[in-house]
């Protein structure tokens, strides 16, 4: 059965047998792939022309952001209206449509990330709080969290109030 075909219900002798369509081949378009360091199949080394071919020129916009007061190029990519950003050294998203294969993403609790990826360590940068997760021996990824994730001594809290705001690979 082709993926574009709708689900079909076959009725035979008062019995109903559902026949389901196959999953579309682009079902991973909202995948945060930690191991591949990609979000929605966008990687940091993808060029602007590659992204425009893959997502369409109207869904890819080159712009700049200020990093410590200096302009830095970035590319905003829209995937079915959901946005992710390719920075000079990482890809990121704040959009809750994007999820890991485990179902985690922006909006998930830090505790859920720690259950899946192990203990986190605190970091900071660009005026925000980040939490680092080590994958493998030398790779890591970050999630941005808010002030609610820290106590008065700036120790990381691991309760339901600590929610991931952004993923950075």
Domains of the chain from N-terminus onward: 27-168 (2.60.460)
Q: So what's the pLDDT on residue 126?
A: 61
User: How far is residue 37's CA from residue 43's CA, in Å, rounded to a whole number?
Assistant: 6
Let me know if 110 is exposed, middle or buried by CB neighbors in 10 A (0-12, 13-18, 19+).
buried
The structure tokens 């993808």 sit at: 46
pTM score, two decimals? Answer: 0.78
Please tell me the distance from the alpha carbon of residue 42 to that of residue 46, in angstroms, as a whole number.
Answer: 7
Q: How far apart are CA 105 and CA 144, in angstroms?
A: 11
| 100-137 per-position pLDDT tens digit | 999 999 999 999 999 999 998 887 666 567 889 988 77
């Amino acid at each position: 059965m082709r993926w574009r075909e709708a689900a079909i219900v076959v009725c035979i002798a008062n019995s109903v047998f559902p026949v389901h369509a196959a999953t579309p081949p682009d079902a991973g378009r909202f995948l945060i792939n930690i191991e591949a360091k990609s979000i929605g199949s966008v990687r940091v080394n993808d060029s602007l022309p590659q992204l425009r071919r893959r997502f369409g020129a109207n869904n890819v916009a080159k712009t700049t952001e200020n990093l410590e007061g200096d302009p830095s190029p970035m590319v905003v990519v829209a995937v079915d209206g959901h946005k992710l950003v390719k920075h000079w050294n990482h890809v990121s998203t704040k959009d809750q449509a994007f999820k890991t294969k485990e179902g985690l993403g922006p909006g998930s609790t830090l505790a859920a990330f720690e259950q899946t990826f192990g203990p986190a360590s605190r970091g900071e940068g660009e005026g925000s709080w980040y939490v680092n997760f080590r994958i493998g021996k030398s790779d890591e990824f970050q999630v941005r969290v808010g002030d609610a994730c820290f106590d008065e001594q700036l120790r990381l809290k691991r309760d339901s109030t600590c929610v991931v705001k952004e993923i950075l690979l």
